[in-house]
Structure 1
Amino acid sequence: MSPRAFISFEMEDSWARDFLVQQAKDKSNDVEFIDYSVKDPFDSSWKTQCREKIARTKGTIVLVGKTTYKSDAVIWEIEETKRQAHRMFGIQINSNDTHRIPDGLSGFDVIRWNFDHIIRKLSAWE
Protein backbone atom coordinates (compact mmCIF):
# COMPACT_ATOMS: atom_id res chain seq x y z
CA MET A 1 0.00 0.00 0.00
CA SER A 2 1.37 3.38 -0.97
CA PRO A 3 1.31 6.07 1.68
CA ARG A 4 -1.32 8.77 1.77
CA ALA A 5 -0.38 11.94 -0.07
CA PHE A 6 -1.75 15.45 0.26
CA ILE A 7 -2.23 17.14 -3.12
CA SER A 8 -1.45 20.84 -3.35
CA PHE A 9 -2.60 22.69 -6.46
CA GLU A 10 -3.89 25.98 -7.82
CA MET A 11 -7.68 25.85 -8.32
CA GLU A 12 -7.36 26.44 -12.07
CA ASP A 13 -5.43 23.15 -12.19
CA SER A 14 -8.10 21.06 -10.46
CA TRP A 15 -8.39 19.06 -13.70
CA ALA A 16 -4.86 17.72 -13.03
CA ARG A 17 -5.82 16.65 -9.50
CA ASP A 18 -8.94 14.93 -10.90
CA PHE A 19 -6.84 13.22 -13.57
CA LEU A 20 -4.29 12.00 -11.01
CA VAL A 21 -7.03 10.57 -8.78
CA GLN A 22 -8.69 8.93 -11.79
CA GLN A 23 -5.41 7.40 -12.97
CA ALA A 24 -4.96 5.83 -9.54
CA LYS A 25 -8.44 4.28 -9.78
CA ASP A 26 -7.98 3.13 -13.38
CA LYS A 27 -4.68 1.42 -12.63
CA SER A 28 -6.10 -0.33 -9.57
CA ASN A 29 -3.34 1.00 -7.36
CA ASP A 30 -3.71 1.13 -3.62
CA VAL A 31 -3.06 4.88 -3.59
CA GLU A 32 -4.93 7.39 -1.49
CA PHE A 33 -4.79 11.09 -2.30
CA ILE A 34 -6.14 13.83 -0.04
CA ASP A 35 -6.76 17.40 -1.01
CA TYR A 36 -8.44 20.22 0.82
CA SER A 37 -9.40 22.65 -1.90
CA VAL A 38 -9.75 26.29 -1.01
CA LYS A 39 -13.44 26.98 -1.48
CA ASP A 40 -13.69 29.64 1.20
CA PRO A 41 -11.42 32.61 1.75
CA PHE A 42 -7.88 31.73 2.77
CA ASP A 43 -8.32 32.15 6.54
CA SER A 44 -7.21 30.65 9.84
CA SER A 45 -9.92 27.96 9.95
CA TRP A 46 -8.82 26.76 6.50
CA LYS A 47 -5.22 26.65 7.72
CA THR A 48 -6.19 24.63 10.80
CA GLN A 49 -8.13 22.08 8.74
CA CYS A 50 -5.39 21.92 6.10
CA ARG A 51 -2.68 21.46 8.77
CA GLU A 52 -4.64 18.48 10.14
CA LYS A 53 -5.05 16.95 6.66
CA ILE A 54 -1.31 17.25 5.96
CA ALA A 55 -0.57 15.66 9.35
CA ARG A 56 -2.52 12.54 8.31
CA THR A 57 -0.27 11.99 5.28
CA LYS A 58 3.33 10.98 4.64
CA GLY A 59 3.88 13.92 2.32
CA THR A 60 2.68 16.39 -0.26
CA ILE A 61 2.53 16.29 -4.04
CA VAL A 62 2.57 19.79 -5.55
CA LEU A 63 0.94 19.99 -8.98
CA VAL A 64 2.96 22.67 -10.80
CA GLY A 65 0.99 24.61 -13.40
CA LYS A 66 1.25 28.00 -15.05
CA THR A 67 0.31 30.11 -11.99
CA THR A 68 1.12 27.74 -9.11
CA TYR A 69 4.21 29.76 -8.15
CA LYS A 70 2.07 32.73 -7.11
CA SER A 71 -0.62 30.85 -5.17
CA ASP A 72 -0.57 31.90 -1.50
CA ALA A 73 -2.40 28.69 -0.57
CA VAL A 74 0.09 26.40 -2.35
CA ILE A 75 3.06 28.26 -0.87
CA TRP A 76 1.52 27.94 2.60
CA GLU A 77 0.90 24.19 2.06
CA ILE A 78 4.54 23.73 0.98
CA GLU A 79 5.76 25.52 4.10
CA GLU A 80 3.40 23.54 6.33
CA THR A 81 4.60 20.28 4.79
CA LYS A 82 8.20 21.28 5.53
CA ARG A 83 7.25 22.40 9.06
CA GLN A 84 5.81 18.94 9.70
CA ALA A 85 9.01 17.39 8.25
CA HIS A 86 7.01 15.45 5.66
CA ARG A 87 8.22 14.42 2.25
CA MET A 88 7.35 16.33 -0.88
CA PHE A 89 7.77 16.38 -4.62
CA GLY A 90 6.31 18.34 -7.50
CA ILE A 91 4.83 17.30 -10.82
CA GLN A 92 4.92 19.49 -13.92
CA ILE A 93 1.31 19.06 -15.08
CA ASN A 94 1.77 20.03 -18.74
CA SER A 95 3.86 17.67 -20.84
CA ASN A 96 5.15 20.37 -23.20
CA ASP A 97 5.71 23.19 -20.72
CA THR A 98 7.99 23.70 -17.76
CA HIS A 99 6.34 26.03 -15.29
CA ARG A 100 8.00 28.14 -12.63
CA ILE A 101 8.52 26.26 -9.36
CA PRO A 102 6.83 27.82 -6.30
CA ASP A 103 9.04 29.18 -3.52
CA GLY A 104 9.84 26.47 -1.01
CA LEU A 105 9.60 23.63 -3.52
CA SER A 106 12.97 24.29 -5.12
CA GLY A 107 15.50 21.78 -3.88
CA PHE A 108 12.84 19.06 -3.89
CA ASP A 109 12.26 16.76 -6.83
CA VAL A 110 10.01 18.07 -9.56
CA ILE A 111 9.16 15.43 -12.14
CA ARG A 112 7.26 15.18 -15.40
CA TRP A 113 3.83 13.56 -15.36
CA ASN A 114 4.41 9.79 -15.46
CA PHE A 115 2.07 7.76 -13.27
CA ASP A 116 4.51 4.87 -12.81
CA HIS A 117 7.21 7.34 -11.70
CA ILE A 118 4.73 8.98 -9.30
CA ILE A 119 3.93 5.59 -7.75
CA ARG A 120 7.66 4.78 -7.39
CA LYS A 121 8.25 8.10 -5.61
CA LEU A 122 5.31 7.47 -3.28
CA SER A 123 6.52 3.94 -2.55
CA ALA A 124 9.85 5.40 -1.42
CA TRP A 125 7.95 7.24 1.35
CA GLU A 126 7.18 3.95 3.15
Structure 2
Amino acid sequence: MPSTVSGKADLDAFPDPFAPSPPVAPAPVHAPAPVTSEARVRHHWAEILGVDGALLSADSDFHALGGDSLALVEMLTAVSSELLTPDQAQRFTGRLDCLVRDLTLAQVCEHLAAAREEVSA
Protein backbone atom coordinates (compact mmCIF):
# COMPACT_ATOMS: atom_id res chain seq x y z
CA MET A 1 0.00 0.00 0.00
CA PRO A 2 1.48 3.40 -0.88
CA SER A 3 2.26 5.56 2.09
CA THR A 4 3.31 9.14 2.81
CA VAL A 5 6.53 10.18 4.48
CA SER A 6 4.73 10.12 7.83
CA GLY A 7 3.67 6.48 7.29
CA LYS A 8 -0.01 7.15 6.60
CA ALA A 9 -1.84 5.73 3.57
CA ASP A 10 -1.27 7.96 0.53
CA LEU A 11 -4.75 8.14 -0.99
CA ASP A 12 -3.53 10.40 -3.80
CA ALA A 13 -1.28 7.62 -5.09
CA PHE A 14 -4.26 5.38 -5.91
CA PRO A 15 -5.81 5.59 -9.38
CA ASP A 16 -9.14 7.39 -9.69
CA PRO A 17 -11.78 4.62 -9.62
CA PHE A 18 -14.22 6.85 -11.53
CA ALA A 19 -11.89 7.85 -14.35
CA PRO A 20 -12.84 6.29 -17.68
CA SER A 21 -10.48 3.54 -18.66
CA PRO A 22 -8.88 3.64 -22.09
CA PRO A 23 -10.35 1.14 -24.54
CA VAL A 24 -8.45 -2.10 -24.66
CA ALA A 25 -7.81 -3.62 -28.05
CA PRO A 26 -9.01 -7.21 -28.19
CA ALA A 27 -6.29 -9.81 -28.26
CA PRO A 28 -5.77 -11.35 -31.66
CA VAL A 29 -7.47 -14.69 -32.02
CA HIS A 30 -5.10 -17.44 -33.06
CA ALA A 31 -6.20 -20.85 -34.14
CA PRO A 32 -5.14 -23.38 -31.54
CA ALA A 33 -2.19 -25.52 -32.50
CA PRO A 34 -3.16 -29.05 -33.42
CA VAL A 35 -2.79 -31.47 -30.53
CA THR A 36 -0.20 -34.12 -31.31
CA SER A 37 -0.16 -37.70 -30.14
CA GLU A 38 2.87 -36.88 -28.02
CA ALA A 39 0.98 -34.05 -26.31
CA ARG A 40 -1.91 -36.39 -25.56
CA VAL A 41 0.39 -39.07 -24.17
CA ARG A 42 2.20 -36.41 -22.12
CA HIS A 43 -1.17 -35.27 -20.74
CA HIS A 44 -2.07 -38.81 -19.65
CA TRP A 45 1.33 -39.33 -18.04
CA ALA A 46 1.05 -36.04 -16.15
CA GLU A 47 -2.44 -36.87 -14.95
CA ILE A 48 -1.71 -40.44 -13.90
CA LEU A 49 1.70 -39.75 -12.34
CA GLY A 50 0.71 -36.42 -10.77
CA VAL A 51 3.54 -34.48 -12.43
CA ASP A 52 3.69 -31.27 -14.45
CA GLY A 53 3.32 -32.22 -18.11
CA ALA A 54 5.46 -29.28 -19.19
CA LEU A 55 8.43 -30.89 -17.44
CA LEU A 56 8.12 -34.17 -19.33
CA SER A 57 10.46 -34.77 -22.25
CA ALA A 58 10.82 -37.53 -24.82
CA ASP A 59 13.29 -39.38 -22.59
CA SER A 60 11.18 -39.13 -19.42
CA ASP A 61 11.03 -42.57 -17.82
CA PHE A 62 7.61 -43.70 -16.57
CA HIS A 63 8.99 -45.82 -13.73
CA ALA A 64 11.52 -43.21 -12.60
CA LEU A 65 8.63 -40.75 -12.27
CA GLY A 66 6.88 -43.07 -9.83
CA GLY A 67 4.82 -45.21 -12.19
CA ASP A 68 3.98 -48.66 -10.88
CA SER A 69 2.23 -51.59 -12.58
CA LEU A 70 -1.25 -50.27 -11.82
CA ALA A 71 -0.38 -46.81 -13.17
CA LEU A 72 1.12 -48.51 -16.24
CA VAL A 73 -2.13 -50.33 -16.99
CA GLU A 74 -4.10 -47.13 -16.42
CA MET A 75 -1.83 -45.15 -18.74
CA LEU A 76 -1.82 -47.76 -21.51
CA THR A 77 -5.60 -48.06 -21.34
CA ALA A 78 -6.13 -44.30 -21.46
CA VAL A 79 -3.67 -43.79 -24.31
CA SER A 80 -4.92 -46.67 -26.45
CA SER A 81 -8.61 -45.90 -25.93
CA GLU A 82 -8.14 -42.25 -26.89
CA LEU A 83 -5.67 -42.57 -29.75
CA LEU A 84 -6.24 -45.98 -31.34
CA THR A 85 -8.99 -48.06 -32.87
CA PRO A 86 -9.72 -51.39 -31.12
CA ASP A 87 -7.58 -53.32 -33.65
CA GLN A 88 -4.72 -50.85 -33.28
CA ALA A 89 -5.04 -51.00 -29.48
CA GLN A 90 -4.70 -54.78 -29.63
CA ARG A 91 -1.49 -54.46 -31.68
CA PHE A 92 -0.25 -51.74 -29.30
CA THR A 93 -0.76 -53.85 -26.19
CA GLY A 94 0.77 -56.84 -27.98
CA ARG A 95 4.03 -54.89 -27.86
CA LEU A 96 3.81 -54.61 -24.11
CA ASP A 97 7.04 -56.56 -23.56
CA CYS A 98 8.95 -53.94 -25.59
CA LEU A 99 7.24 -51.10 -23.77
CA VAL A 100 7.95 -52.40 -20.29
CA ARG A 101 11.69 -52.62 -20.96
CA ASP A 102 12.07 -49.06 -22.16
CA LEU A 103 9.08 -47.08 -20.93
CA THR A 104 9.90 -43.56 -22.04
CA LEU A 105 7.52 -41.05 -23.55
CA ALA A 106 9.26 -41.38 -26.91
CA GLN A 107 8.98 -45.19 -26.87
CA VAL A 108 5.25 -45.08 -26.13
CA CYS A 109 4.73 -42.59 -28.97
CA GLU A 110 6.84 -44.72 -31.32
CA HIS A 111 4.82 -47.84 -30.51
CA LEU A 112 1.58 -45.89 -30.96
CA ALA A 113 2.68 -44.79 -34.43
CA ALA A 114 3.74 -48.35 -35.32
CA ALA A 115 0.39 -49.77 -34.15
CA ARG A 116 -1.41 -47.25 -36.37
CA GLU A 117 0.69 -48.08 -39.42
CA GLU A 118 0.61 -51.88 -39.22
CA VAL A 119 -1.85 -53.60 -41.48
CA SER A 120 -3.73 -56.33 -39.71
CA ALA A 121 -3.20 -59.78 -41.25
Structure with a larger share of its residues in helix: 2
Please say which structure displays the higher CA radius of gyration: 2
- RCO higher in structure (CA 8 A, sep ≥6): 1
Structure with a larger share of its residues in strand: 1
What TM-score do the two structures reach when normalised by structure 2? 0.28
What TM-score do the two structures reach when normalised by structure 1? 0.27
